[in-house]
Amino acid sequence: MSFRFNFDVDDSGDRITTPEPVAGNFSVSVTSNIKEEKEQQISTQAEPCEIISLSVPTVSSIVVDAVYYKNQQLWKRQIDDVQFQLAQQDSMDGSNESAMVKAMVEDKNASDVIKGVYEGGLKTWECSIDLLNYIVDYSDEISKLINGGNVLEIGCGTALPSLHILRNISGACVSMQDYNKDVLELVTMPNVLSNTDLEPPSGGDSPGYKIHVDGDTETCEIDLDYRRTQVLFGDNTDNVIGERDIPELTKDEAEAADAQILNYADIKSRCEFIAGDWSEIEKELRRYERQHSFNLILTSETIYETSNYKKLHDLLACALAKPAAKSMGGNEKALPLPMALVAAKTLYFGLTGSVLTFKQYVRSQGIFNIECVWQSGGSMNREILCLTWQAPPQHI
């Protein structure tokens, strides 16, 4: 499928709380403890850029956890459920496995980052929660900035910020990028569907959904085969299931039902999934003349290695929309400036990246202004950085 970038139209489910923002200041105080993640060095070639079509998971059911934030809720797929699916697939046929899947199957406690193989996309990283809360705190400003335009989340993984935007900002079109195609298919796409067309109902169990509440955690098993049977047989679903000796759908039935589910899915026209290395994605943007397409770019936990700074910076400079003329000044009311928000730990112990070194790199390039717009408290500091074009924006 050709590259396009255009549009026609906490892992356990624990409750996450944050203090209210300080009035008149883009600053919020968040405290939370998280272990520093280690990295294994495995050398491979950069993943090529590939657009992945939205698909329903090829399993009978998925298990999702609730994520609570700012009096709101999203659903995300459990890592254990992903690993269960991978184990099932491995027992049937492991001949076409990717390097990431092989690593996860061989060691379920595999490192959170395996350089060049797996960049941590199955986890919900703490800074993505910071970014999610920031978007909610400044929802009016963010909505005006997007204004029915395009959003890009780089290194999306579980894609919680993107999910919030898809659900809450009308007309926004979101491209979700991850290094690993498998992450997009195993986690990102199920999360998108679980928060839109397959979203669990509020108020307890209902046909096709089993909800379990334990204290502040809430889990739901979504019976995809039941939903498929509903699509195929409508009001006769329960009779069909009861009459079959083997209630599972055939492969052909499941594929037909999945196609219908996606045809009904309004979300399909508002989201896009891109796999591959940042440098390869930048090349494809330029090749198809899709530079400067995104009013808002989001990324979290992506500056932990200085060796990735150039690729990330070049992709931001290629993808971020340029400001309208009256955004840069003049007598007319200024429009919101296109921006990139980068959420990160202030310092990554044992790794080369940090907020300070990333700021220094960005400033050395002379293309973007960069400032801290949010900072946490506590012993493990985290920040959100805002990048906007220097005035006037340079031709790149």
β-pair partners for 41: 115
Domain enclosing residue 343, as ranges = 39-55+118-188+267-389
Q: Residues 6 or more apart from 383 whose CB is under 8 A from it?
A: 343, 344, 345, 346, 355, 372, 374, 375, 376
Rounded CA separation 28/130 (Å)? 9
The two beta strands, 271-275 and 61-69, are: unpaired
Position 205 scores a pLDDT of 74
Rounded CA separation 396/392 (Å)? 12
CATH of the domain at 317: 3.40.50.150
- Residue 325 dihedral angles phi and psi, to the nearest 5°: -55, -45
In a domain, 90, yes or no: no
In a domain, 163, yes or no: yes
Structure tokens belonging to residue 233 = 């047989």
For every residue of 82-136, DSSP letters joined together read HHHHHHHHHHH--TT--HHHHHHHH-TT--SEEETTB-STTS--HHHHHHHHHHH
Rounded CA separation 3/94 (Å)? 28
Q: pLDDT tens for the chain, 396 residues: list them.
A: 444 555 443 444 444 444 333 333 333 333 233 333 433 433 446 788 999 999 999 999 999 999 999 999 999 999 889 988 888 776 555 555 666 566 555 555 554 655 655 555 567 889 999 999 999 999 999 999 998 899 999 999 999 999 999 999 988 999 999 999 999 999 999 999 999 989 998 877 788 899 999 888 899 999 998 899 888 888 777 777 667 655 578 889 899 999 988 887 678 899 999 999 999 999 999 999 999 999 999 999 999 999 999 999 999 999 999 987 655 455 444 557 899 999 999 999 999 999 999 999 999 999 999 999 999 987 789 999 999 999 765 555
In a domain, 365, yes or no: yes
Number of domains, the chain: 1
For every residue of 16-67, DSSP letters joined together read ---PPPPTTSS--------PPPPEEE---PPPPPEEE-----SSSEEEEEEE
In a domain, 240, yes or no: no
In a domain, 155, yes or no: yes
The two beta strands, 150-154 and 173-178, are: parallel
Position 8 scores a pLDDT of 42
Q: Which residue from 247, 319, 308 is spatially nearest to 282, judged by alpha carbons? A: 319
Q: How far is residue 165 from each of residues 128, 148, 158, 193, measured CA to CA in Å?
A: 13, 11, 14, 14
In a domain, 31, yes or no: no
Q: Residues 6 or more apart from 135 whose CB is under 8 A from it?
A: 142, 161, 164, 165, 298
To 10 degrees, what angle do helices 251-264 and 224-233 make?
80
Q: Residues 6 or more apart from 332 whose CB is under 8 A from it?
A: 326
Rounded CA separation 132/104 (Å)? 27
Position 314 scores a pLDDT of 98
In a domain, 394, yes or no: no
Structure tokens belonging to residue 333 = 């009311």
In a domain, 239, yes or no: no
Position 3 scores a pLDDT of 43
User: Amino acid identity, residue 227?
Assistant: R
